Amino acid sequence: MTIKKITIDPNNPPALTAEDKKMLAELAAMPDSNIDLSDIPEVKDKDGWVRNNPFLNEKNYRPKKELITFRLDKDIIDWLRSTGKGYQTRTNNILRREMQKAM
């Protein structure tokens, strides 16, 4: 088997063939439910929460924080504090996960 090496200029890509256009049209028409995602690993952050978007992580996503006050049930606060240092960050992660699930 011979390997053919080619170099493509990203500023001047080759034109799509009729076969390429047909394949892209078929892929665009395919419903998301037909896409096999079984070989994609689950992405988790350091606290073990599954992220919906792998690009939303501590390295490249830092939303502006806002100081607020709200009331929570005491047992919830006790449980969060019992998890140790960083419980406020974990609380934010729990809320973010639920927000993303609702989107």
The predicted-structure confidence for 41-96, as pLDDT tens digits, reads as follows 776 665 555 555 555 555 666 778 888 998 999 999 999 999 889 899 899 989 98
Q: Is residue 49 part of a domain?
A: yes
Q: Is residue 10 part of a domain?
A: no
Q: How far apart are CA 36 and CA 73, in angstroms?
A: 42
Q: Is residue 78 part of a domain?
A: yes
Q: Is residue 55 part of a domain?
A: yes
Q: Judge whether residue 10 has pLDDT over 90.
A: no
Q: What does pTM read for this prediction?
A: 0.40
Q: Is residue 35 part of a domain?
A: no
Residue 63 has what pLDDT?
A: 77
Residue 58 has what pLDDT?
A: 57
Residue 35 has what pLDDT?
A: 86
Secondary structure class of 32 (helix, strand, coil):
helix
Domain of residue 82: give its range.
40-103
Residue 100 has what pLDDT?
A: 85
Count of structural domains within the chain? 1
Between the CA atoms of 56, 59, 60 and 62, what dihedral angle is there, to the nearest 10 degrees? Answer: 80
Q: How far apart are CA 82 and CA 73, in angstroms?
A: 14
Residue 21 has what pLDDT?
A: 95
The sign of the CA dihedral 57, 41, 21, 27 is negative
Q: Is residue 75 part of a domain?
A: yes
Residue 45 has what pLDDT?
A: 61
